[in-house]
Amino acid sequence: MSDYESHLANQVEADYQTRQLQQVEAANTEIEAIVERLKELALDGEALTDGLADLCTALQSWAHATEGLM
């Protein structure tokens, strides 16, 4: 592999990891917001159920975003 090809391969890998980290950061932000909302909704059963469903969805996104990092 030439130096140029090696450089391109390294750049592709770095770009991929950057995108993964951005996805993780976005998922973390979403999870934090949902947790704060859940704290506010703790006394409203139906809203709490909806919030927990949102949290589960966000956690699935986080798991998908982080699977390549582990």
Q: What is the DSSP string of 7-69?
A: HHHHHHHHHHHHHHHHHHHHHHHHHHHHHHHHHHHTT-HHHHHHHHHHHHHHHHHHHHHHTTT
pLDDT of residue 52: 84
Provide the residue range defining the domain that includes 14. 3-66
pLDDT of residue 58: 86
pLDDT of residue 14: 92
Domain count, the chain: 1
The answer to whether the beta carbons of residues 21 and 68 sit under 8 Å apart is no
Q: What is the pTM of this model?
A: 0.59
pLDDT of residue 69: 66
pLDDT digits 0-9 by tens, 8-66: 999 999 998 898 889 888 888 888 888 888 777 777 777 778 888 888 888 888 888 87
